[in-house]
Amino acid sequence: MGKLNVFNSVSLDGYFVDRAGGMGWAHNEAADPEWDAFVNGNASGGGLLVFGRITYQMMAGYWPTREAARDNPEVARGINAAPKVVFSRTLREAAWNNTRVLPGDLPSEIRSLKRTGDVAVLGSGNLVSQLVAEGLVDELQLVVVPVILGSGRTMFEGLRGPLRVKRTSTRAFRNGNVLLCYRPA
């Protein structure tokens, strides 16, 4: 059975998107070769990538472009080659290569996908809160970016009660980003 990992950037005050729904703030401009190597390694990690419609459309609008291939070739190569699933009730087809659309029941579809191997959810706050509530997340990997947004959305909006987690690892980078990894307690 595969594992489901959530990988997201969050601001210092806990938001994963700003008040306009943007994530541009998550791209830390401070030069850090260690961070770059970490990001490149993550992009080639294999496994199935899962998105909600909004995150999918944002990612599909950038990663297959010449700009992405020029600015971040290793990540572009990895994410474009990876198999991808987008959960949506409104999207009928996906143009980004290696992508299929699943309109079905999220919990049962994720259980089925986990039986085939590892799954990573990127962005997709609505999915994350549903998957956490269903007990389907094996690990939360949160990159805290040194920025304070003041408002926005958290990944856990709609969660009906507290979820206790246990820290499994931390890693600080010179650019100020801190990777925090947790699993349900």
Q: Is the pTM of this model over 0.85?
A: yes
pLDDT band at 2 (very low <50, low <70, confident <90, very high): very high
Residue closest to 135 by CA, chosen among 167, 110, 169, 104: 110
Please state, in angstroms and rounded to a whole number, the distance separating the CA atoms of residues 73 and 56: 19
pLDDT of residue 27: 87
How many percent of the chain have pLDDT more than 70? 100
List Cα–Cα distances, 120 to 7, 79, 138, 157, in angstroms: 7, 11, 10, 20
Q: Residue 65: CA atoms inside 13 Å, Cβ hemisphere, count?
A: 9
What is the tens place of the pLDDT at every residue in 120-179? 999 888 899 999 999 999 999 999 999 999 999 999 988 888 889 999 999 999 999 999
pLDDT of residue 124: 87
* CATH 3.40.430.10 assigned to 4-184: yes
pLDDT of residue 123: 86
Rounded to 5°, the CA angle 157-57-94 comes to 120
